[in-house]
Amino acid sequence: MRTHRVRALLMGGQWGVFYGAAEFSRDTDLAIVADATNLARLRRALADLQAQLIAVPPLTAGMLRRGHAVHFRCHHPDAWRMRVDLMAKMRGVGAFDGLWRRRTTIALPGDVRCDLLSVADLVLAKKTQRDKDWPMIRRLVEAHYFEHVRTQSPAQRRFWFRELRTPELLIDLSRRDPALCRRLMSRRPLLRHAASGDENLLTRTLLEEELAERAKDREYWRPLRAELEQMRRLR
């Protein structure tokens, strides 16, 4: 992707390896720009990878902009059977230009750089209906909290108040910054239970919050799934 100058950001399970929330991942998930220039570069990169399209939908700007994921399987010996999943639009996540500005760039051995979705953006992208995503969100934000708690900035504290899913850490954070906790209660009402120290009620409302997000994601994907089914039947 870097060789062909594709504007792409790593996300998903492999992304988590860099941030202390590693999980076994069978594929490489990339957020990309769905414009003509970037897609031309992407097609050249996929050709080098000897990547073949898996099922539907096809790789078009229209499909990506509607929110569909496009899936490939690589047959190059250096990436044998690696699956590559591409998306340009995700529920609850901003436009790519903003994602690109907020990206994290990691230096790898061999003078290789990897551009990653920011922690905050990946957390939003992971609020899906899938069971495996919610433990990952919890681990991601916990890892971020423990990494930065000694040198925390106001922006990091706001992020933790918005996204922490660990009751004891939310209670601890509310004691560290009660004023910010009160200001953010209107945005995330369960912070009231963190401020009161009621861990049982906080645990229950965190689950209710998760279930509500899962329901929103099912509703978001309902028309997209219908389109996929129609494409499969036509094919």
Q: What is the structure's pLDDT at 55?
A: 87
Let me know if residue 60 belongs to a domain. yes
- Please count the structural domains in the chain: 2
Do 114 and 175 belong to one domain?
A: no
Let me know if residue 229 belongs to a domain. no
Let me know if residue 157 belongs to a domain. yes
Do 143 and 60 belong to one domain?
A: no
Beta strands at 27-32 and 8-11: parallel, antiparallel or unpaired: antiparallel
Read off φ and ψ for residue 66, nearest 5 degrees: -75, -15
- Pair 116, 18: CB distance under 8 Å: yes
Let me know if residue 228 belongs to a domain. no
Do 21 and 107 belong to one domain?
A: yes
Q: What is the structure's pLDDT at 25?
A: 62
Do 109 and 207 belong to one domain?
A: no
Let me know if residue 3 belongs to a domain. no
- Pair 25, 13: CB distance under 8 Å: yes
Q: What is the structure's pLDDT at 96?
A: 95
Do 112 and 137 belong to one domain?
A: no
Let me know if residue 142 belongs to a domain. yes
Residue 118 exposure: Cα atoms within 13 Å on the Cβ side: 15
- Give the residue from 18, 144, 13, 140 showing the smallest Cα distance to 85: 13
pLDDT by residue for the chain (235 residues), tens digit each? Answer: 999 999 999 997 777 677 665 566 668 999 999 999 999 999 999 999 999 999 899 999 999 999 999 999 999 999 999 999 999 999 999 999 999 999 999 888 888 888 999 999 999 999 999 998 999 899 989 999 999 999 999 999 999 999 999 999 999 999 999 999 999 999 999 999 999 999 999 999 999 999 999 999 999 999 999 999 999 999 8
Do 23 and 81 belong to one domain?
A: yes
Domain enclosing residue 215, as ranges: 133-219
Q: What is the structure's pLDDT at 12?
A: 79
- Give the residue from 91, 50, 4, 66 showing the smallest Cα distance to 58: 66
Domain boundary residue, one of 118, 143, 164 = 118
Domain boundary residue, one of 71, 95, 118 = 118
Q: Tell me how far apart the alpha carbons of residues 107 and 126 are, in angstroms, rounded to a whole number.
A: 24
- Pair 130, 139: CB distance under 8 Å: no
pTM for this entry: 0.89
In whole angstroms, how far apart are CA 211 and each of 35, 130, 207? 35, 11, 6
Q: What is the structure's pLDDT at 23?
A: 61
Do 207 and 157 belong to one domain?
A: yes
Let me know if residue 167 belongs to a domain. yes
Q: Tell me how far apart the alpha carbons of residues 184 and 170 are, in angstroms, rounded to a whole number.
A: 12
Do 69 and 107 belong to one domain?
A: yes
Q: What is the structure's pLDDT at 197?
A: 97
Domain boundary residue, one of 87, 118, 149 = 118
Do 54 and 108 belong to one domain?
A: yes
Q: What is the structure's pLDDT at 112?
A: 84
Q: Tell me how far apart the alpha carbons of residues 118 and 100 are, in angstroms, rounded to a whole number.
A: 9
Do 32 and 90 belong to one domain?
A: yes
Let me know if residue 59 belongs to a domain. yes
CATH code for the domain of 57:
3.30.460
Do 103 and 182 belong to one domain?
A: no
